[in-house]
Every structure is written in C-alpha cells, then in structure tokens.
Amino acid sequence: MLKEPNRARAAEKSSARETLDSLVWALVIFVLVRTFAFQAFQIPSSSMEKTLLPGDFLFVNKLLYGAKLPFTDIRLPGLTHPKPGDIIVFQFPQDPKTDYIKRCVAVAGQTVEVRDKQLYVDGVLKNEAYAIHVDPRTGERQRDFFGPYTVPPGNIFMMGDNRDQSYDSRFWGPVDLKLIRGQAWVTYFSISWDDKAAFPQRLTTIKRIRPERMFRWIR
C-alpha cells in the first residue's frame, strides 16, 4: 500500500502527464487546422483598398481550393476552383516565400485587356464596383493599358482593387494554381496604423481599433 507522500507524488505525475498530453493534442490540432483548413493573414499594404485595408487581420480558407500537403506540390481535392471575383492569398511567383493577396479577374483561357484603366475580359467591359483609381493617367503602359493577354492553362490573372497602387499580374504575369494558399474568408480584427512604417515599428503607430471591420465576410 502506497504511503501518503507517494500517493501525492503519483497524483502530481498523473496530473502533469494529463496536462502535457492536452498541450500536445492542442498543438497537433492547431498544426492540422493551420495546414489544411484555415490560416491567419495580415494586410500589409493599400493594394486592396477599399475592400481590405492595411491593418486588417483575416482568415484564409484553404478547404475551398484544396490544401497542399506540406513540402510538396500535391494538393488535396477542393470544394471548388478559383473564379473571377475571388480574393485569393498566394505565394508571390518571383519569391514564393512571400505571400500576396489580390483579386482573381480571369482564369485560364480568358483574355485580359486594360484600356485607359478599364478592365475587359474576353472583350467585355467589366463592371467592378470594388475597383478604385486614385491617380490620373500615369503613363505606365502596364497600369493604364495592358494586353490583350490570354491566361495560360493552370494559371489565374490577379489584380489589386486599388488599381493605381497595386503591383500585380500586369507587371509580373499570371499565378500558377500550385502557388495558391486559399481564399480570403473573413476579417477577425482590424487596427489603423501608419502602414509606411516597417514592422514591428508600425505597432507603435497604432491609431485606433476598427470594430466596424471585425467579423466581416470578404467579398
């Protein structure tokens, strides 16, 4: 029969083991969710204004297009395919370690053209209520005049909603489907800060929390 001190030590070990097991399972679940379901993302620039603002924090839904298996190009079956109008997080083609967020304006086989800032897809002028132009004609052909350009198989064409302040497929080409992270889903937090400051220094420039932008579906 155990003596009282031994019983106490055994109970402490059992409690510590249960706590450790809980932490391990919590970590496993977190990794699985982040890898295959949802991932947090923060908007660093103004290229998606007014749809998304610098300081918006959002979740990316990986289930819709199918999550990639870690360290491979193998993608699990998704629920749907990227389509024009979707806001998508992807690996920047010229630096896959960096994530970008833009709006898909055309998919494989469609022809994109920009005429004096207006977007045409397959020759049809698109009515884009979300797109804004903040500068007069810049004289940059890629920004104000582009194409016509036919999106190749296995790719999508991405543009920022803030067309005059977006570095996008007009400059560096289409995005391979293999580089897609997922679809922007919902904002869960938002703060106003000086987005010209470098991170983490910008954290000291926080002006206010924006509750009106929290828990908003992204369209």
Per-residue tokens: 94: 């010229």
Instruction: Tell me: cis bond preceding 70? Omega within 30 of 0 counts.
Output: no
This prediction's pTM: 0.80
- Nearest Cα to 163, choosing from 42, 45, 43, 49? 49
Residue 7 domain flag: no
- As annotated, the active-site residues are 47, 102
Which CATH number characterizes residue 75's domain? 2.10.109.10
Which structural domain range is residue 210 located in?
Answer: 13-217
Residue 148: what pLDDT? Answer: 96
Residue 155: what pLDDT? Answer: 98
Residue 21 domain flag: yes
> Cβ distance 125 to 118 under 8 Å?
yes
**Residue carrying the six token digits 């703060």:** 191
Side-chain-side CA neighbours of 73 within 13 Å: the count stands at 6
Residues of the chain with pLDDT under 50: 1-2
Residue 2 domain flag: no
Residue 2: what pLDDT? Answer: 45
> How far is it, in rounded angstroms, from Cα 146 to Cα 108?
17
**Residue 217, exposed/middle/buried by CB under 10 A (0-12, 13-18, 19+)?**
exposed
Tell me if residue 105 falls in helix, strand or coil: strand
> How far is it, in rounded angstroms, from Cα 62 to Cα 33?
9
Residue 153 domain flag: yes
- Nearest Cα to 177, choosing from 68, 54, 59? 68
Residue 66: what pLDDT? Answer: 85
> How many Å separate Cα 78 from the centre of its chain?
17
Question: How many structural domains are present in the chain?
Answer: 1
Residue 5 domain flag: no
Residue 4 domain flag: no
> Cβ distance 85 to 126 under 8 Å?
no
